Amino acid sequence: MGFRDPVDDALYLVTGLRRTGIPASFPLGREVVPVTPPAGFCAWVQCGERW
């Protein structure tokens, strides 16, 4: 057991918000350190100026 991937969590939340009529975006970024794996991706939910 553990946590889901943050990218998955953000994607599910944005999908739910958009389906209810709330405009939300899905910014996606990549960790810069370390340059080689296991660096991963990070995602968050943004509604207007709030994240």
C-alpha distance from residue 28 to each of 1, 10, 40 (Å): 25, 9, 11
Mean pLDDT of 16-33: 89
CA–CA gap between residue 32 and residue 14 (Å, rounded)? 25
Higher pLDDT: 39 or 13? It is 13
Q: What is the mean pLDDT of the chain?
A: 83
Number of continuous H segments (helices) and E segments (strands) in the chain: 1, 2
What pLDDT, on the 0 to 100 scale, is given for residue 1? 46
* Closest alpha carbon to 45 in 22, 36, 37: 22
User: Looking at residue 40, what is its pLDDT?
Assistant: 75
Hey, what are 2's tokens? 């553990």
3-state secondary structure of 3: coil
Q: The pTM is what?
A: 0.68
